[in-house]
Structure 1
Amino acid sequence: MTASTIELPEGLEITTALPEGAEKVLTPDALSLIVSLHRKFAATRKERLAARVDRQARLDAGEELDFLEETRAVREDDSWQVAAPAPGLEDRRVEVTGPTYKKMTINALNSGAKVWLADQEDANTPAWDSVIGGQLNLLDATRREVDFVSDQGKEYTLRPDEELPSIVVRPRGWHLEEKHMKIDGQIASGSLVDFALYFATAGREQLAKGRGPYFYIPKMESHLEARLWNDVFVHAQDELGVAQGTIRATCLIETYPAVFEMEEILYELRDHSAGLNAGRWDYIFSVIKTHRAKGEEWILPDRGLVTMTVPFMRAYTELLVRTCHKRGAHAIGGMSAFIPSKDEAANTKAFKQVENDKSREANDGFDGSWVAHPGMVEACRAEFNKVLGDLPNQISKKREDVAVTAADLLSVKDTPGDVTETGLRANIAVGIQYVQAWLSGNGAAAINGLMEDAATAEISRSQVWQWLHFGVKLADTGENVTKELVDRLIAEEVADLPGQESDWATSRDLFATMATQEDYADFLTIPAYELLG
């Protein structure tokens, strides 16, 4: 199927073949909305991305993050609240996250979770077939017409007559493009493409069902980026004749700059807000990225030691709950990456860790939380049931006992633990295996009992870069991290992977470049995207 088989608005070019069935989501309304959004907001998007670069340059030069003086009035004004919870989002005690591949779509909708985070971002590979295929699966899921048969002949269908989770779609972040679409000669924004395709097709059908369209918004770094999303929502609702305030968005607080602007982000989106989420894995990645030029006090220990109870992470989550509940918004906890195992001892350990994690969040005041596998839904639900009972949420728990300062949020130096060769090897092995999976079309990869996605791969390569850049001494071997050491460990870890060494060449080389080059690259997924069709 080619782009010539559908009618394109003037100025829009699709530069590759279309997957089967693409015309169902590349509708006239959807394509016109993409063009309209691009023409109205592309320049502002570029300004917001340029502002990230400017802020990073100031941070590299010695400036530090802090709450904004220019928005103090917003934070100190106790009169404003976000919109009341939308239908289907009142009770969010357990949310399952995963990509929009057909099998995972069915499993997520059958999981018993309250919400399915349909991920077009970190758990998805943005190959063209996945971008369009995911939208088709969302449309079919909305119509309860999605099914799948595996290569082994196993059939997957939606359970009849059961209430499905509310669908909340996560589009790509502002930094990502959709290279297969050009508008007036410019490459389209991946964010706007994902948003418009869903809103104009499955989202409208969700609206008719009284539940949606709802979105999770990733990787924002400022309230001005939230303002841009709000403007997009207002424009899109007007364009398609939908009442203002119908769209609802939960914002992931997963960048270091954004944690200092949480109230402002809620304020900018207040008529469309569905709360905030503690995007823990990207947050750790962002801590390293934001302070790439700074020294020893910003070195994080082995990834497994950066838990949610270390001081700077604790401050982040405590402030998020207080901020949300002060403004009448849901506070949603972070993703537990543990997945069920066939090994009984490993399985027992994984479930215990999930239970402890979700118990802590529920008792801290979160209204719900994420799991990365349907098999962990019940464990999460059980812990929130203990605290919520029959209540849909605990927004009334204001957490006025919490008083978090900028210094608390910046207390990375107080994180206990060492950097070890074991941790270095783990980052290398996981990073290369994830890149391999991503380039093969799988954005959510089960590795060593964890569901890894782009965020955890970003932590892996960023830690290697940080430890190498500052020549950290390994606690278990006494060696300093050098390029020669990293190169040797990469070779050893690849040699232990299944198949031929040549099978891993592309993912190995990409990971090695991103982890050892002199200048830190903001995102692993940008050069990786260039390797996708």
Structure 2
Amino acid sequence: MSCPEGVELSSPPRGLEEEYSRLFTADALLFLRELVSTLDEEVDQVLKLRVLRKAQLDLSGDLPGFSEATSYIRSDPTWRVLPVPPRLQRRHVDVGDLAPCDTQRLMQALQSPAQGLQIDFDDGNCPTHYNQIKGIHNVYKAVHNQFPNVPSISQAPVLMLRPRAWNMVDHNMMVNGKEVPGPLYDFGLLMFHCGKTLFKYKSGPFFYLSKVESFMEARLWNKIFVWTQNKLGLPLGSIKATVLIENVLAAFEMEEILYELQEHSAGLNCGIWDYSASFVNKFGHREAFLLPDRSKYVSMEKRFLRSYMELLVQTCHRRGAFATGGMAAQLLPQDHRSPSHRTTLANVTRLKLLEIKAGVDGFMVYDLGLIEAMQKLFQMHIRGDNQLHRVRDDLTVTPDDLLSMPTGGVTLYGLEHNIAVGVLFIDAWLLGKGHFFYRGQVEDSATAEISRSQVWQWIRHEARLEDDNRLVTRGLVTDLTQKVVRELRVVTCCDTARAEQRLLTAAEMFLEVVQKRDFPEFLTTYLNLDHTFISSHTNGRLAAGNHKPKL
């Protein structure tokens, strides 16, 4: 394949030569080159602004608040986002964490009664070269009705495409001598090959935007949308995007984010674990922001999370935008008559009912078996397609509400659970998978982020275990990691030398990241730039010699 000047591509993944050729046509490469060349400098700017904002908070000791500089946006009652198309008016239940490289699960979801599918190139996906090409090509096939026994794109659940976040780069494409930002790679290919068809059938193009930290990042996305629509000949406002408010700084700029995306907004989304992890990311070195055991003390019923969800709903509905909740990660036991099935369903119902009563217009589930039960829950408790009429004028949320840490301590169970989730996530990544199943629910980068964040913070502040008053130290975490790995060998059926070696490597990498002096901002960034991960998927095998296990 001849690349245009300024573009370098890795060779196609083995077994995907035909898919690769279909995606990387001469016209597609020219489109990607121009997209990246036009906007790459602004991508670098917003990432530098993140670093600057973090440094300002660290040096000053200040806390975030609602900015006076943008108060004119919040105080103006007249502006609204543009109405969304009919297919987005009723999205009570979406399927979440849908890694598009998993062809079988994608086809099952397309055949399901869900209203929407989160086509996830971010949290639930491991961005190997193979997975990205397979996933984007699978979206192409779904949009162009090339899957057998699957409804046409105009009848199937609507696709909510979720490109990688700004912290990720793609190692397999370079433009003008630089690796391409992951979200531009994903967004560009998806729009070039699918955007016009989705618009023609009134089924998109619709997106989720991950890990947005400020209205400046929303402004950048809006510029990307406008540029792309002009380039492809689509009307302004064709693209609609839901922004995931999964960072504490973004929680103070929700109205500004909607304002920047007025023509392109499909609303805002809230989720518990990435948002909770962002507190450690931004304030983790401050003892006042010690986050207690998430398994025991952190839930949407706590003040800081309840306030964030209520403010998100109020903000969205005030501006005519949709507010959506997080994902139910629980897996339903297959035996519908078993007590465990009833218990799991009851727990999911209780938690999702809290979100419905808070005013959300929809939320996500992972297990396809939960779709119909959760749709019935909506039908029982709301009238019509959504809850836009609930503007929550009675509600006042203050900075203190958003920054109020829950009380509680650290338990041995919580520490061991966080270690297990962190190690297993890294193990999954080394295997080329973005999520895994553990103790009855799906785990992805969001739960891995909160898990490793808490272990890092507990070591940093030498928190004490409630069980026996021991300090959480590097030594204790190392000892517990050895214990957890011995148990995981049985749980994960490490029946080959390669599997055992990979698990040990994952444990070493986990210990490395939780013991660093400075908090690594994103676990996925650390993994994506680590030589062990890159070489394991470049050469098709785990290069364990580069990260020799010591456990």
- TM-score, normalised via structure 1 length: 0.94
Equivalent position amino acid for 2:178 in 1: Q
The aligned residue for residue 527 of structure 1 is 526
Q: Aligned to 2:250, which of 254, 258, 269?
A: 258
* Cα distance, 1:218 vs structure 2: 0.4
Distance 2:99 2:369 in 1: 16
Equivalent position amino acid for 2:488 in 1: L
Alpha carbons of structure 1 residues 396 and 478: separation in structure 2 relative to 1, 3 Å: same
Contact 1:302 1:424 in 2 (8 A): no
Distance 1:440 1:103 in 2: 19
Helix, strand or coil at the partner of 1:497? helix
Helix, strand or coil at the partner of 1:496? helix
Distance 2:135 2:195 in 1: 13
TM-superposition CA deviations, 1:181-218 (whole Å, max 9, x none) = 00011110100010011111122221121111110000
Alpha carbons of structure 1 residues 160 and 192: separation in structure 2 relative to 1, 3 Å: closer
Distance 2:153 2:266 in 1: 27
The aligned residue for residue 126 of structure 1 is 127
Helix, strand or coil at the partner of 1:88? helix
Matched, 1:387 2:385: no
Matched, 1:363 2:364: no
Equivalent position amino acid for 2:352 in 1: K
The aligned residue for residue 343 of structure 2 is 349
Contact 1:473 1:479 in 2 (8 A): yes
Q: Aligned to 1:33, which of 24, 31, 37?
A: 31
Equivalent position amino acid for 2:10 in 1: T
Distance 1:522 1:37 in 2: 27
* Cα distance, 1:297 vs structure 2: 4.2
The aligned residue for residue 179 of structure 1 is 171
Q: Aligned to 1:24, which of 15, 22, 25?
A: 22
Distance 2:502 2:175 in 1: 37
Q: Aligned to 2:436, which of 429, 445, 448?
A: 445
The aligned residue for residue 225 of structure 1 is 217
Q: What are the within-5 Å matches in structure 2 for residues 193-342 of structure 1?
A: 193-342=185-334
Helix, strand or coil at the partner of 2:42? helix
Q: Aligned to 2:478, which of 484, 487, 490?
A: 487
Total equivalences in the alignment: 516
Alpha carbons of structure 1 residues 302 and 90: separation in structure 2 relative to 1, 3 Å: closer
Distance 2:285 2:306 in 1: 24
Equivalent position amino acid for 2:375 in 1: R
The aligned residue for residue 421 of structure 1 is 412
The aligned residue for residue 44 of structure 2 is 46
Distance 1:285 1:95 in 2: 23
Alpha carbons of structure 1 residues 346 and 513: separation in structure 2 relative to 1, 3 Å: farther
Distance 2:393 2:53 in 1: 31
Q: Report which stretch shifted further, 456-465 or 509-518.
A: 509-518
Distance 2:52 2:154 in 1: 50
Helix, strand or coil at the partner of 2:70? helix
Equivalent position amino acid for 1:525 in 2: T
* Cα distance, 1:372 vs structure 2: 1.5
Helix, strand or coil at the partner of 2:86? coil
Distance 1:232 1:162 in 2: 25
Contact 1:302 1:420 in 2 (8 A): no
Q: Report which stretch shifted further, 14-23 or 245-254.
A: 14-23
The aligned residue for residue 144 of structure 2 is 143
- TM-score, normalised via structure 2 length: 0.91
Q: Report which stretch shifted further, 93-102 or 321-330.
A: 93-102
Equivalent position amino acid for 1:114 in 2: Q
The aligned residue for residue 152 of structure 1 is none
The aligned residue for residue 397 of structure 2 is 404
Query: Unpaired runs of 5+ in structure 2?
Result: 538-551
* Cα distance, 1:108 vs structure 2: 1.6
TM-superposition CA deviations, 1:87-145 (whole Å, max 9, x none) = 31110111111111211211221221101010010000000111111011001112232
Matched, 1:116 2:107: no
* Cα distance, 1:431 vs structure 2: 1.2
TM-superposition CA deviations, 1:257-298 (whole Å, max 9, x none) = 000000000000000000000022210111111112211443
Contact 1:307 1:313 in 2 (8 A): yes
The aligned residue for residue 153 of structure 1 is none
Distance 1:426 1:60 in 2: 30
Contact 1:247 1:272 in 2 (8 A): yes
Helix, strand or coil at the partner of 1:215? strand
Helix, strand or coil at the partner of 1:313? helix
Distance 2:176 2:436 in 1: 37
Helix, strand or coil at the partner of 2:488? coil
Equivalent position amino acid for 1:13 in 2: E
Distance 1:16 1:290 in 2: 39
Contact 1:425 1:493 in 2 (8 A): yes
The aligned residue for residue 93 of structure 1 is 92
Contact 1:172 1:191 in 2 (8 A): yes
Where relative contact order (Cα < 8 A, 6+ residues apart) is larger, the structure is 1
Distance 2:174 2:130 in 1: 17
The aligned residue for residue 74 of structure 2 is 75
The aligned residue for residue 509 of structure 2 is 510
The share of aligned pairs that are identical, in percent, is: 37
Query: Unpaired runs of 5+ in structure 1?
Result: 148-156
Equivalent position amino acid for 1:434 in 2: F
Matched, 1:8 2:9: no
Distance 1:482 1:298 in 2: 15
Contact 1:88 1:211 in 2 (8 A): yes
Contact 2:170 2:179 in 1 (8 A): yes
Contact 1:369 1:380 in 2 (8 A): no
TM-superposition CA deviations, 1:331-356 (whole Å, max 9, x none) = 00111111112473332222111111
Alpha carbons of structure 1 residues 298 and 180: separation in structure 2 relative to 1, 3 Å: same
